[in-house]
Structure 1
């Protein structure tokens, strides 16, 4: 088959796996079931994906491609604190809008099988987060964001966003404040407040 035909088959398998994993749960779907659902032999599925974990990583990659595309769109024309707010909000909104995807990504531990690279390394997650890190550094240089190690501030922000998404998605019966308020409050914690001398 041509490269484009191979890519089409891979995407068809990924798309069907995405639906099955969301509706039935990752653990409940076997490669044999996936082969039947896509009218292919089990051996054919393994030719494209050496393991179910590898297939799951490709599903995750589709989600994160969407996320970082939205983050890039949200930050257009902005720098520093304004860019950080736009990107963090876009990141959080993606998970709020797709709670099933959040569960699929963060409720299934990534495990290496047959020496396969883990998702966080194969997808270059650190470099994907670099625009947020740059926005923090720009905000610090402009005096908009509190001083401190930019990597630490980024990890705290990402941790808060994930925590907010986890709580709102999995403990929805609790009376949380509006999600926009949660995210804006987290961002205000990074914002450098003007001192008395700055205001004079």
Structure 2
């Protein structure tokens, strides 16, 4: 029995989404997750709750992200991309090695102080395991960003010993995060000016 021309080519099911539609859905999921994670905490938001806020089923959400941690890691990547792009823009205008290091440190700390919500999302999310953090830190984009700090220290202090460069890089990173963390989490205390602390820190290290 032959079908009429009007029914012969009728598509079955919903048409496939375009790349633009898929991208918009991913962005919506990420933005909704960011709002919920910041308001209620990462550990307190389930995939089911997130899907409900987005307006889709959990199965639909899993088509775009493998897991809840994958969404958080995507948000982390966005934050660090913003941080490092801003840093690159500033370093392009500075030639002197020591001034470059000073610029790098002040921008790094200043970024977190200007965006405390980013700091909490990246460094203070509860319910995240160490392997999940390690997987993200192993991302080539993140490694390149932090390697920039080591290279800048090596140039500013004319260092050749890789062990010394790592030691000073780790010390500097720890100190910068301490400055940012204290100012963000213990804001009631009258901390000294962040830029002034960085200047003293670099004088001592160099």
Give secondary structure in 2 for the equivalent of 1:82.
Answer: helix
Q: Give the alignment partner of residue 28 of structure 1, picking from 7, 21, 44.
A: 44
Shift of 1:158: 0.9
Whole-angstrom CA distance in 1 between matches of 2:134 and 2:143: 15
Alignment match, 2:169: 154
For 1:50, the equivalent position in structure 2 comes to: 66
Answering whether residue 98 of structure 2 is matched by residue 81 of structure 1, we say yes
SS in 1 for 2:79: helix
Change (3 A) 1:110 1:74: farther
* 1:110 CA drift (Å): 4.2
- Kindly indicate whether the alpha-carbon contact (under 8 Å) linking 1:110 and 1:118 is maintained by their aligned counterparts in 2: no
The structural deviation recorded for 1:148 is 7.2
2:173 matched to 1:166?
no
Q: Tell me, in whole angstroms, the C-alpha distance in 2 between the residues paired with 1:128 and 1:161.
A: 15
The CA deviation at 1:112 is 4.5
For residues 119 and 199 of structure 2, what CA distance do their matches in structure 1 show?
A: 20
CA displacement at 1:7 relative to structure 2: 2.2
Q: Return the offset for 1:170.
A: 1.0
Q: Please tell me whether residue 8 in structure 1 is matched to residue 24 in structure 2.
A: yes
Shift of 1:160: 0.5
1:96 to partner: Cα distance: 0.4
**What is the deviation of 1:111?**
4.7
TM-score of the superposition, structure 2-length normalised?
0.81
Task: State the alpha-carbon separation in 2 of the partners of residues 106 and 117 from structure 1.
Answer: 13
Could you tell which deviates more after superposition, 154-163 or 169-178?
169-178
Distance of 2:92 and 2:183 partners within structure 1 = 28
Q: Aligned residue pairs: how many?
A: 185
Deviation at 1:21, TM superposition (A): 0.9
Corresponding residue of 2:124 = 107
Which of these residues, 95, 114, 133, is aligned with residue 97 of structure 1?
114
Residue in 2 that maps onto 1:195: none
State the structure with more CA Rg.
2
5+ long unaligned stretches in structure 2: 1-16
Q: Distance in 2 between matches of 1:8 and 1:179?
A: 39
- Say which SS state the counterpart of residue 55 (structure 2) adopts: coil
Q: Distance in 2 between matches of 1:123 and 1:148?
A: 21
